[in-house]
Amino acid sequence: MASANPHMVFSDVHIAFAGKSVHAGVSLQVQRGSVHFIMGQSGVGKSVLIKTLVGLVHPDRGSITFDGTEVVGLSEAAFFPIRRRCQMVFQQATLFGSLSVLDNVAMPIARHEQVSMAVARQRAAEVLESLHARHLGERLPATLGPGLRKQVAIARALALNPEALLYDEPTTGLDPIAARRTDRLIRETSIRLGVTSVVVSHDLQSLLSIGDWVSFLHAGQLHFDGPPAKFFAATDPVVRAFVQAGSSSVGHC
């Protein structure tokens, strides 16, 4: 899907850890407003790839642009404006344990918008409301199940009104019901706010129900890049093996 104005562009990205190559020349584009899945087996470096966008991982070679701005080689301070526009939802949700749910969401607002904590809490309550999580406000993260924690993490990521959201394995470790609810939240958020969503996952059910596009990584290379319908009919042997191994569970859900 080569459009004139993609939101994010990875070109020829190389990443190695301790001499071991993870990505050897990955190139792909993410379209504005789409729900873009990055799939592959565990350990293939899917999370590593999206973490480059927000400067948590620095690639060895290649170019990555966010809305036309090159991010490779930026300093930690120069990443701050990028991060406010492109947020990330961590795999373990990673809420701040000493803060209530409401304060987890209010904290970034208070810090960045120069408003009082009371105003920030008001705004945070609205964000939680939009994700059907207002009632969790006063609870501590440790008292929530993994599904609810993920819901709060999405709210926190939306607190700064980003234009893009990166989801690191949003449904991994969730029970099927919580996983499908998380899928719906991702889709709803994408439609309601028009944010670009990049979803790292190996959950074929998620892809089937909410994905617009899928990029499949294997052994540091891009093996598939296209819409989900074509993905399930792909002829590439690695992709076929992945789809077939997962299709039994898709049938049951």
Binding residue for other proteins, selected from 9, 24, 56, 140, defined by CB under 8 A = 56
Given the rule CB under 8 A, which of 13-21, 48-56, 63-71, 224-232 is the region that contacts other proteins?
48-56
Taking CA atoms, 95 is separated from 40, 107, 123, 133, 139, in Å, by 26, 11, 18, 15, 12
CA distance 50 to 248: 28
Given the rule CB under 8 A, which of 23-31, 61-69, 76-84, 188-196 is the region that contacts other proteins?
76-84
DSSP label at 18?
A: T
Using CB under 8 A as the binding rule, the residues of this chain from 169 to 228 that contact other proteins are: none
> Does 33 help bind other proteins (rule: CB under 8 A)?
no
| Residue number, 94 or 247, with CB nearest to other proteins | 94
Assigned token pair, 233? 């009919």
For the chain, counts of helices (H) and of strands (E) = 9, 10
Among 137, 3, 157, 16, residue whose Cα is nearest residue 83: 157
Assigned token pair, 22? 């993870």
| Residue number, 41 or 94, with CB nearest to other proteins | 94
Using CB under 8 A as the binding rule, the residues of this chain from 83 to 122 that contact other proteins are: 83-84, 87-88, 90, 92, 94, 96, 107-108, 111-112
Using CB under 8 A as the binding rule, the residues of this chain from 134 to 163 that contact other proteins are: 156, 160
Among 224, 164, 220, residue whose Cα is nearest residue 43: 220
> Does 81 help bind other proteins (rule: CB under 8 A)?
yes
- What are the residues binding other proteins (CB under 8 A)? 54-56, 76, 79-81, 83-84, 87-88, 90, 92, 94, 96, 107-108, 111-112, 156, 160
